[in-house]
Chain A
Amino acid sequence: MIASKFEFRSPKDVEEAVRLYREFEGEAVYLSGGTDLVPRMKLGLEKPKVVIDLKRIASLTTVEDQGDWIRIGALARIFDLKQNDIVRGEFPALEASLEGTSCESLQMRGTIGGNLLQNSRCLFYNQSEFWRRSKGFCLKMGGESCNAVPGAKTCFANYCSDNATALCTLSAEIELSGPDGTRRVNLEGLYSNKAERPFEIQPGEILTAIFLPKMRSVGGYEKLRVRGAIDYPLLGVAFSFVDGTGKLAVGAVGPRPYVVEIKQPFRDTVGEAVETVLKQVKPVGNTVLDPDYRKQMIPVLAGRLVNKVMEGAK
Chain B
Amino acid sequence: MERFKVNFQVNGEPVELDVRPSETLLETLRDRLELTGAKEGCGLGACGSCTVLLDGLPTRSCIVLTAEVDGSEVTTIEGLAEGEKLDPVQESFMEKGAVQCGFCTPGMILTARSLLDRNPRPTREDIIRSISSNVCRCTGYKKIVEAVEAVSSTETPET
List A residues at the B interface (Cβ < 8 Å). 1-2, 4-8, 10, 31, 34-35, 38-39, 41-43, 51, 53, 55, 103-106, 108-109, 228-230
Q: Quick check: B58 and A105 within 8 Å, CB to CB? A: yes
The answer on a CB contact under 8 Å between B45 and A35 is: yes
Among A4, A41, A43, A230, the one with the most B-chain Cβ atoms within 10 Å of its Cβ is A230
Contact yes or no, A109 B1, CB < 8 A: no
Verify if B20 is at the interface (C-beta below 8 Å from A): yes
Q: A34-B63, A38-B63, A39-B45 are in contact. Are A104 and B130 (CB under 8 A)?
A: yes
Determine, out of B64-72, B80-88, B93-101, the stretch whose residues face the partner at the interface: B64-72
B27, B59, B111, B132: the one within 8 Å of A109 (CB) = B59
Q: Are B133's CB and A2's CB within 8 A?
A: no
Query: Given the complex, which residues of B lie within 8 Å of A31, measured CB to CB?
Result: 65, 68
Bitwise interface map of B from 89 to 118 toward A, beta carbon under 8 Å scored 1, else 0: 000000000000000000000010000000
Give every chain B residue within 8 A of A8 (Cβ-Cβ). Answer: 2, 4, 21, 65, 67
Interface pairs A-B: 4 shortest CB-CB: A8-B21, A229-B132, A103-B133, A105-B133
The residue in A103, A105, A230 that gathers the most chain B C-beta atoms within 10 A of its C-beta is A105
Q: Is B120 an interface residue (CB 8 A)?
A: no
CB pair B48–A105 under 8 Å, yes or no, is yes
For the complex, what is the distance from the CA of A8 to the CA of B1, rounded to whole Å? 12
Known A8-B21, A42-B44, A105-B111: A35·B133 in contact at CB below 8 Å:
no
A196 to B130 alpha-carbon distance, docked (Å): 34
Q: How far is the CA of A2 from the CA of B29 in the complex (A)?
A: 16
Tell me the complex Cα distance, A167–B68, Å. 29
* Nearest-Cβ distance from residue B4 to partner chain A, whole angstroms: 5
